[in-house]
Amino acid sequence: MKAVMILCSGLLLMQVAYAGGDPANGQKLFETSKCLKCHGTEVFTRPDRKVADLAALESQVRRCDANLDTNWFDDEVLDVVAYLNQTYYKFP
């Protein structure tokens, strides 16, 4: 019974996350990478921010990742997208 409940809450969490991305892992990746070398988190919340939807957020994370040579795998990019969306952008 306990296992079923744990399974259910896991499924629920997965639905909230973007495309299966794991925001907790995304946060770890984001904070241990040099993402804040060129800009702070203010670019995510400034009134004239460039990113207008999830697809644009994903391409921007890919561009910035390429600048850093971190070479994140696709699922790691999606984890970071999920983290940034959950924390700053809040796209549906």
Q: How many CB atoms lie within 10 A of CB 91?
A: 16
Structure-token pair, residue 51: 């990113």
Q: How far is the CB of 14 from ligand HEC (least distance, A)?
A: 22
Q: Which residue's CB is nearer to ligand HEC, number 61 or number 78?
A: 61
Q: Which residue's CB is nearer to ligand HEC, number 6 or number 52?
A: 52
- Kindly list the distances between the CA atom of residue 49 and the CA atoms of 32, 69, 70, 74, in Å, as whole numbers in the listed order: 24, 24, 24, 24
For ligand HEC, the binding residues (CB under 6 A) are 30, 33-35, 37-39, 43-44, 49-51, 57, 60-61, 64-65, 67-68, 70, 80, 84
Q: How far is the CB of 11 from ligand HEC (least distance, A)?
A: 27
Q: How far is the CB of 43 from ligand HEC (least distance, A)?
A: 4
- Judge whether 57 and 85 are in contact, CB under 8 Å: yes
